[in-house]
Amino acid sequence: MEGIEDMCLLNEAISGLPYLLDSSVSNEGENWSMGQCQLFCLGRFLLKRNRILVVDSIDSATDAILQRVLRHEFSECTVINVAHRVPTVIDSDMVMVLSYVKLLFLLYIAGHLKLSPISPK
CA distance 96 to 23: 40
State mean pLDDT over 23-44. Answer: 77
d(CA 36, CA 44): 12
Whether this prediction's pTM lies above 0.85 is answered by no
4-90: CATH number: 3.40.50.300
User: What is the average pLDDT value for the chain, to the nearest integer?
Assistant: 75
Per-residue pLDDT averaged across 19-29, rounded? 77
pLDDT at 8 over 70: no
- Which of 100, 101, 104, 105 is closest to 115 using CA atoms? 105
Contact in structure between 96 and 103 (CB atoms under 8 Å): yes
The answer on pLDDT for 6 being more than 70 is no
pLDDT digits (tens, 9 = 90+) for 55-92: 777 777 777 777 777 777 777 888 887 887 777 777 78
